[in-house]
Chain A
């Protein structure tokens, strides 16, 4: 039995490590996309695909872990302290919201809806930290734009994640 447990643990850590590396690649790809909207925080949020997948196949704790490792590593690869602060708080905040909704409201919301809630809360969380760190309340003028952009990007990311999780379930990759 012990051997089986070890195997399970190994598979668990390998899959999580894979998720982290994929999140890193996605955040790199994301940084290559040129955005025409000059508003800080308007982003596609590709890494949210991974956060959602981890929530579905592992759970909230693992999702937060992946967010932390991903943001720390991508900060080491480039990007300043403040960029790191914004992305880690936004990421953790949205992971908590999405995990909570996945656990408690999956019947009422689809994966797409959960992704929309995650994207919007990511943007709002980021904005709150930005407002506190740069000590300027004017930044909250961006709230409406960031909420609407969260709906749009969350929709796209949610459709992707729902399809990916379906495929992964079919392939029995993560169980």
Chain B
């Protein structure tokens, strides 16, 4: 019963193949295009709070999020991050700086998400 059986191996392989396929799919989708402008989108509870064009930021600034979530976001030219949070695990802060299209930081306890999207220059 303790041994690794054929079925276990099969299950593991299936899960890993599925995961890698999904990963490759997401990677293709989020490939970086140098001509695109990077837009940081801050969502709370599914609603967009801010859309910040990261390539237009001149100096660094901090944004305290409303709704008493205790989150502070720092924006600099070309990058954005959670600076502090009041949730127990602080995973969003540990994620660090986001600068590439497709980058994302999530605070699940406060239901806040920051992600970076690309916008074609025009």
The reply to whether chain A is a binding partner of chain B is yes
Could you list which residues of chain A lie within 8 angstroms of chain B, going by C-beta atoms?
A: 31, 36, 38-40, 78-80, 82-83, 86, 105-106, 108-113, 116-117, 120, 130, 133-136, 138-139, 141-145, 147-148, 150-151, 155, 159, 162-163, 166
Residues of chain B within 8 A of A162, CB atoms compared: 1-2
Report the Cα distance A171→B28, complex, angstroms. Answer: 54
11 contacts between A and B (CB under 8 A): A36-B94, A38-B92, A86-B108, A110-B2, A112-B2, A112-B4, A135-B45, A144-B20, A144-B26, A150-B15, A151-B15
Q: Is the beta-carbon distance between A147 and B18 smaller than 8 angstroms? A: yes
Q: Is the CB of A134 within 8 A of B46?
A: yes
A109 contacts B11, C-beta separation under 8 Å: yes
Closest Cβ of chain B to A118, distance in Å, is 11
Establish whether residues A113 and B46, one from each chain, have CB atoms under 8 Å apart when the complex forms.
no
**Closest residue of chain B to A155, judged by CB?**
B12
Q: A144-B20, A144-B23, A151-B16 are in contact. Are A38 and B96 (CB under 8 A)?
A: yes
Task: Taking A134-B45, A144-B20 as given, write out 9 further A-B residue pairs in contact, using a Cβ cutoff of 8 Å, ordered by the A residue number.
Answer: A109-B7, A110-B3, A134-B43, A134-B113, A135-B46, A141-B104, A144-B22, A159-B2, A162-B2
Residues of chain B from 42 to 95 with CB closer than 8 A to chain A in the complex: 43, 45-46, 87-89, 91-92, 94-95
Beyond A110-B3, A113-B8, A166-B2, whether A80 also contacts B113 by CB under 8 A is no
Given contacts A116-B15, A138-B115, A148-B19, contact A40 B106 (CB under 8 A): yes
On chain B, which size bracket covers the interface? Answer: 35 or more
Interface positions of B (Cβ within 8 A of A):
1-8, 11-12, 15-16, 18-20, 22-23, 26, 43, 45-46, 87-89, 91-92, 94-96, 102, 104-106, 108-109, 111-113, 115
Contact residues of A: prevailing secondary structure:
helix
Question: Main SS of the interface on chain B?
Answer: mixed
Per a CB cutoff under 8 Å, which of A80, A82, A116, A159 touches B11? A116
A113 touches B113 (CB 8 A): no
B99: min CB distance to chain A, Å = 15
A109→B15 CA distance, assembly (Å): 14
Asked whether A83 lies within 8 Å of B2 as measured between CB atoms, the reply is: no
In the assembled complex, the CB of B63 is this many whole angstroms from the nearest CB of chain A, namely 19
CA distance A79 to B46 in the complex (A): 22
B1 near A111 (CB under 8 angstroms)?
Answer: yes
Quote the shortest CB–CB distance from B107 to chain A (angstroms): 8
CB of A162, distance to nearest CB on chain B (Å): 5
Closest chain B residue to A119, Cβ basis: B15
- B109: contacting residue among A39, A82, A139, CB under 8 A: A82
